[in-house]
Structure formats: structure tokens, C-alpha cells
Amino acid sequence: MLHDSDGNEEHTTGSVNEKVAEKKPNDGIKDKCQCTNGCSVRSCSCFESGSGCNSSCGCSPSCQNLFNHLDYFFGENHRLSAHSCFAKWLMNHSKNANGFETIDRDKLRKRLMKAAKQVEAFDDDDLQEWLEEWRTIDESEKLAHTQQLFRLLISDHSSSFYYSFCDNGVFDEDCHWHCVKCQKCVEWRFWHCNRCNKCTYFKEEEFLLEYMQHWNFLLGTYGVSSPCERCGRM
Ligand SMILES: [Zn+2]
Ligand SMILES: [Zn+2]
Ligand SMILES: [Zn+2]
Ligand SMILES: [Zn+2]
Ligand SMILES: [Zn+2]
Ligand SMILES: [Zn+2]
């Protein structure tokens, strides 16, 4: 979604990262829905963003939004949405419109732990703390602790890392993201070109300049060079 920020004069690496994160198409679909068709399709803005419906939606009582059942993963009273990558995976993997019970949480927990170990994500404070507790708790606490790992890695409030189902690995949120338009994970330097309807990127050395020019284009000020390497239009 376009937004009103035009702070692209900042040149530090940090701010470039921020700008890249800001114009993800994933943003701007947080509005609550007004569906009359049960919220089980992508035309529902809540479903599309991996969120459950709530009382501010105009949809109940016919609501059948799959993501109303996310407490199965995140625990009661957390009201989190699924990370966009997890949301896509859930759309493909939940056979049962009534919930996620067919998905094995322990198997998913093992998959996340294995991936986190591979990239040493357990050096991260939150994850390290989680792992230390995991080793000491007894059987009865394991489900709640598993849900905490899910909140850390596959919710929209994930830690500095998230688990990518597309790429089967744990990634730094600043270096990797899931594009909801392409429905795939890409590196940070990719951004979604609405004209091409694809994620695209510029060569490293040209990145900042091209990005800023494209950004001006998207804002309607029509920069001096082409908007992206694929469509190549002025
Ligand atoms: Zn809806
Ligand atoms: Zn809704
Ligand atoms: Zn709904
Ligand atoms: Zn993904
Ligand atoms: Zn393009
Ligand atoms: Zn994309």
C-alpha cells in the first residue's frame, strides 16, 4: 500500500532497511472486515491478513474465518495474528473449516526448533530464554511453552526472527520477508512492484538510487529513471 511517508532522504543503512520494510504490500490490510459471506475467503480482509475476526468486524454471527482459531497455536487471550508466511501455510494445510486440530503442534514445534538451531537463532535473548526453560519444564507445561515458541516465531508479533514456511528456515526479520501478493518469502532487498505485480530488486550498487526513484514514481511524481528492471518503464 502506498503511504504518506517521504522520508527517503536519509542515507544510513538502518533507515534504508526501514523504508524497505515500510512499503511491503503486507501493510495496510489491517482494516476489519464487513463480510456477508462467512469470511472464509481471501476477499475478507481479516482472513487475508491472517487475523481472526473480532467484535469490530461487521461479519458475525456467520463468520467462519479460519483464523478465529489461532489460539490453538498462540494460546488463549493473546489475540495475535499469524505471520503472513504462516497464514499462507495454514490456508494450504487446514483441511477442516472448524479449526486447526489436524495440524500436529509438536511436529511443528520440532520443525521450528530444528530450523532455529541451524542458524543459531537461539543466541537471541528471547529464544535463548525460551530454550533454557524448555529444557527444565515438565511434560504438563510443554504445550504452553510450545505456544510461546509459536508466538515468538510465527505470529505477527514475532521476535527479531521468524520461521519461513516458504524457505523452511528461520530468518532475521530485517533480512527476509513474506510478500502477501506473491505469497512467497524474499530477501529484504526485494520490493513488490505493483505495475509488474512481482517482487523485484535492484543490483546492490544501484539499489538506493533506483529505489528512491521508483518510490517517487509510485508516489506519482514520476522519477527520471525506470521504475523497475522488469517493466523498465519511465
Ligand atoms: Zn470477513
Ligand atoms: Zn473480520
Ligand atoms: Zn468474520
Ligand atoms: Zn513465506
Ligand atoms: Zn515493475
Ligand atoms: Zn511480491
Given a cut of 70, is residue 38 above it in pLDDT? yes
H/E element, 127: helix 125-136
User: For all residues of the chain together, what is the average pLDDT?
Assistant: 80
Structural domain includes residue 21 = yes
Contact 165, 89 (CB under 8 A): yes
Contact 19, 33 (CB under 8 A): no
Structural domain includes residue 169 = no
Structural domain includes residue 83 = no
Structural domain includes residue 15 = yes
Distance 57 CA to ligand 1 centre (A): 7
Among 15-24, 31-40, 117-126, 157-166, the minimum mean pLDDT is found in 15-24
Q: What are phi and psi of 62, to 5 degrees?
A: -85, 5
Structural domain includes residue 65 = no
Given a cut of 50, is residue 1 above it in pLDDT? no
Distance 51 CA to ligand 2 centre (A): 8
Q: Which residue has the cell 535473548?
A: 125
Look up residue 57 and give its three cell numbers.
Answer: 468486524
d(CA 77, CA 70): 10
Distance 76 CA to ligand 3 centre (A): 19
Structural domain includes residue 38 = no
Structural domain includes residue 156 = no
Q: What is the pLDDT of residues 94-103, one digit of tens each?
A: 766 567 888 9
Range of the domain at 207: 1-25+189-234
Distance 39 CA to ligand 6 centre (A): 24
Proximal ligand: closest to the CA of 233: 5
Distance 86 CA to ligand 2 centre (A): 18
Look up residue 61 and give its three cell numbers.
Answer: 454471527
The tally of domains found in the chain comes to 1
Give 195-208 as a DSSP string.
TTTEEE---GGGHH
Instruction: Specify the pLDDT at position 211.
Output: 65
Given a cut of 50, is residue 145 above it in pLDDT? yes
Q: How confident is the model at residue 79 (pLDDT cuts 50, 70, 90)?
A: confident
Structural domain includes residue 194 = yes
